[in-house]
Amino acid sequence: MTALFAYPLFWLLDTGSAPLVGLALAVALVFAHAPMYGPQAAFLSELFGTRVRYSGASLGAQLSSVIAGGLSPFIATALLPYGRGVLAAYLAGMALITIVAVALASETRRQVLE
């Protein structure tokens, strides 16, 4: 949803209309943000065995938030002079990287996680 809604999001934000901006943010938070972060704790926990689960999940979440989350505002600021379309492409690109990473993660449904 994040990749699909990237361009409409910036288009709605650029209208400057308070109801459309509110709609854009509501759609983004309800249909893109929440479904991505809701299952994140269980998803990250299942990537690691029980002996290193807490450390592995925590280290993965914290490092990714520092590296990706910390650099994103700087990247977005650098891209801003090129227009909102470039920002939307950056957002969609990051969403596609996330989709690929999740698809390549190992499935643990039938494994013993001890």
Query: What is the b/e burial string over 26-62, where b = at least 16 CB atoms within 10 angstroms of the residue's CB?
Result: ebbeeebeeeeeeeeeeebbbebeeeeeeeebeeeee
Helix (H) or strand (E) holding 5: helix 2-14
pTM of the model: 0.80
pLDDT tens per residue across span 20-67:
999 999 999 999 999 988 888 888 888 888 888 888 888 888 888 898
CA distance 3 to 77: 20
pLDDT of residue 18: 96
